[in-house]
């Protein structure tokens, strides 16, 4: 019966591939393609949930291009397939209105084609167990993402973001190619199967280092993150949701999968990743605070959350290196729980950002405001995502970070102070800064009064775009209140990542979550009762009492409101790459002044981009070798043949 689960997932991959192809036809073919994609996500979701619920791993062995290939659905694969097909299916429905197929230049049709391709290729990434085929489907996913990011390629900033992403992902693929070669040497072939009972080897450290370089580019871990803000801001919003909620996590999946094949984790690697994840989290949320483009704000928040997940992976690796099952359970369990939680609330936030962009036509927070009065349903459904991303109870991210707090305190008690202290401070600081960043995000966009005509004429989208947001908003609360039900699933996934690990989360975290859930339910009940009492309380008649003297104040204006820049000025001014511009006030009657901030990424804009520009300038010298004359090109061929002949002659003499 468990083979049926893998068949459902493989059928889903085929359905998504056909869905993308049918979308090229438009009309009824595109509508049928949408139905196929949704059915494919439902099928994959059923198979993946059954695997998480305890079904044994399902394996299918075939031959492709003369090579043995294995497809396998286990609990680790299922843990990533569930968010992929949840966000992928909802995004397909959302995109029906957000990015219709009848746009000029065929942009709507090509977008849906590559949307189907990226869902199919990511699904294959999670079930393939052969190194060469893994690289093939990894590259297919990367190229699909490039075309999705470059959907509006007529804009220069979009083209730049797409090419930066493509170069970055191919640098990562080079590292992964070397990793697959070393891993094939270590495993005795390209099929992937855990080395049970084998002794650790020196090459294991190199495999993990190459895995970090290759998968770290995809996950956006500092300093390999610089492609991410531009790509996620430039892509259509439902594409940004799938990139942030799932594609970044393929990097985490790769780290977990490759490490699960090795017999042990070298000491020190876990602590290094723990500290690097801590720095990534603080860097990401610090830069999110400074953004005035709300999609770039969400993109930097994804860097922060990937840093939190990397902390969990580093904690789990530390547990494997020191043979501490409690750290293994809390580290890997917290990382996986945050993978699920981040997929849900970040998908919701990007859908909400798409609704705002769809209604206003701008990504600039500074010209918006007052949208809650004009887009009340969008403001209502996005609010749980704002609370969740700030890790506030009773929403889901609070609990996954609770796992990591428990694990970091346990690491301190066991004598791993250098990395655990750094991570503990970073996790607390990140939570506080996230609350500030998303208070700014929600207040500047939805509260106050509109600052421009774009905000004044905004309106809610139709139910086609609101329904996916509502589903994810409800899940943010459901995952927070139903976390006890997830512990057995997390134990099963941890057992795959760390073969031989004992299931400890049900017994070790069950009491914690029971108490927390009880308090959250009580908090919700008290809040509901207070709200009902306020609504039922009689309101005084304003005609019976004169108004309070207001010192001549008549009505608020937009100049009295905080802007996004002024709200964050005290927090972000010390970040590298943030520059504030304001003329000094002079004279008794000064002219109106404007406060403006410029934000540049400390790694991408200030370090990588100038050096790449200088390198490109130097490489222009080689254009001299292409004068456009056939005789010169024939001379190049002749010189090349002569060089090869001389090399073969010298080689024959040396060997002879």
Q: If pLDDT is split at 50, 70 and 90, which confidence band does 59 have? A: confident
Domain region containing 44: 2-195+202-524
Which pLDDT band holds residue 369 (cuts at 50, 70, 90)?
Answer: confident
Domain assignment present for residue 614? The answer is: no
Residue 611 domain-assigned? no
Q: Are 349 and 389 in contact (CB under 8 A)?
A: yes
Render 357-372 in DSSP notation, one character per residue.
HHHHS--BGGG---HH
Q: Does the pLDDT value for residue 62 go beyond 60?
A: yes
Containing 70, the helix (H) or strand (E) segment is: strand 67-73
Residue 529 included in any domain: no
What confidence score (pLDDT) does residue 624 get? 75
Asked if residue 6 belongs to a domain, the reply is yes
Q: What is the pTM of this model?
A: 0.89
With respect to residue 454, please indicate whether it lies within any of the assigned structural domains.
yes
Q: How many CB atoms lie within 10 A of CB 247?
A: 25
**Any domain includes 609:** no
Nearest to 353 by CA among 431, 291, 293: 293
Structural domain tally of the chain? 1
Q: Return d(Cα 442, Cα 369) in angstroms, integer.
A: 9
Q: Give residues with Cβ within 8 angstroms of 372, minimum separation 6.
A: 379, 446, 447
* DSSP reduced 3-state for 24: coil
Q: Which helix H or strand E contains 563, and what residues bound it?
A: none
Residue 589: inside a domain: no
Most confident listed range (20-24, 59-63, 374-378): 374-378
Residue pair 407/419 in contact (Cβ under 8 Å)? The answer is no
Tens-place pLDDT, residues 493-550: 998 898 877 888 888 888 888 888 888 888 888 888 888 887 777 766 666 666 666 6
């Amino acid at each position: 019966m468990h083979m049926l689960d893998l068949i459902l997932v493989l059928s889903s991959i085929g359905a998504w591939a056909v869905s993308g192809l049918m979308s090229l036809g438009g009309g009824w073919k595109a509508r049928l393609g949408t139905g196929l994609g949704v059915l494919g996500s439902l099928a994959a979701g059923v198979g993946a949930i059954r695997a998480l619920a305890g079904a044994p791993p399902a394996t299918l062995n075939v031959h492709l291009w003369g090579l043995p290939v294995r497809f396998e659905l286990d609990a680790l694969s299922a843990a990533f397939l569930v968010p992929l097909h949840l966000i992928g299916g909802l995004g397909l429905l959302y995109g029906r209105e957000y990015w219709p197929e009848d746009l000029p230049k065929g942009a709507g049709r090509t977008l849906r084609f590559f949307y189907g391709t990226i869902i199919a290729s990511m699904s294959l990434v999670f079930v393939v167990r052969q190194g060469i085929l893994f690289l093939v489907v990894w590259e297919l996913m990367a190229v699909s993402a490039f075309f999705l990011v470059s959907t509006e390629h007529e804009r220069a900033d979009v083209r730049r973001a797409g090419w930066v992403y493509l170069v970055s992902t191919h640098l990562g693929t080079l590292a992964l190619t070397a990793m697959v070669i070393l891993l094939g040497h270590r495993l005795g072939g390209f099929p992937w199967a855990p080395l049970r009972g084998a002794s650790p080897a020196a090459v294991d450290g190199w495999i993990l280092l190459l895995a970090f370089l290759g998968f770290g580019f995809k996950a956006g871990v500092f300093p390999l993150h610089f492609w991410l803000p531009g790509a996620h801001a430039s892509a259509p919003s439902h594409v940004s949701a799938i990139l942030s909620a799932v594609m970044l996590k393929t990097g985490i999946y790769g780290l977990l999968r490759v490490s699960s094949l090795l017999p042990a984790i070298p000491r020190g690697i876990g602590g290094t990743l723990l500290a690097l994840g801590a720095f990534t989290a603080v860097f990401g949320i610090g830069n999110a605070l400074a953004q005035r483009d709300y999609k770039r704000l969400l993109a930097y928040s994804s860097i922060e959350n990937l840093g939190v997940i990397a902390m969990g992976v580093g904690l789990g690796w530390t547990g494997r290196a020191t043979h501490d099952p409690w750290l293994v359970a809390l580290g890997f369990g917290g990382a996986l729980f945050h993978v699920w939680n981040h997929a849900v609330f970040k998908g919701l936030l990007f859908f909400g950002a798409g609704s705002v962009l769809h209604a206003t036509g701008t990504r600039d927070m500074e010209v918006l405001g007052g949208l809650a009065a004009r887009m009340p349903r969008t403001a209502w459904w996005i609010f749980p995502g704002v609370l969740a991303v700030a890790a506030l109870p009773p929403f889901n991210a609070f609990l996954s970070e609770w796992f990591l707090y428990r694990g970091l305190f346990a690491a301190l008690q066991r004598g791993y102070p250098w990395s655990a202290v750094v991570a503990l401070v970073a996790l607390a600081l990140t939570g506080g800064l996230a609350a500030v960043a998303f208070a700014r995000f929600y207040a500047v966009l939805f509260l106050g009064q509109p600052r421009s005509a774009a905000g004044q004429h905004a309106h809610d989208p139709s139910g086609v775009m609101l329904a996916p947001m509502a589903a994810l908003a409800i899940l943010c609360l459901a995952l927070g209140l139903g976390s006890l039900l997830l512990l057995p699933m997390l134990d099963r996934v941890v057992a795959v990542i760390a073969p031989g690990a004992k299931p400890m989360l049900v017994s070790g975290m069950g009491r914690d979550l029971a108490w927390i859930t009880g308090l959250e339910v009580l908090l919700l009940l008290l809040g509901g009762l207070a709200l009902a009492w306020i609504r039922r309380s009689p309101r005084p008649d304003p005609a019976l009492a004169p108004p309070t003297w207001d010192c001549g104040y008549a009505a608020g204006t937009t100049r009295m409101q905080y802007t996004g820049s002024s709200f964050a000025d005290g927090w972000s001014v010390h970040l590298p790459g943030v520059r504030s511009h304001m003329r000094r006030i002079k004279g008794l009657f000064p002219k109106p002044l404007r406060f403006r901030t410029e934000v540049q990424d400390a790694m991408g804009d200030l370090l990588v981009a100038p050096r790449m520009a200088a390198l490109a300038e130097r490489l222009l010298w080689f254009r001299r070798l292409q004068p456009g004359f056939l005789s010169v090109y024939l001379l190049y061929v002749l010189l090349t043949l002569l060089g090869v002949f001389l090399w073969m002659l010298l080689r024959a003499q040396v060997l002879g």
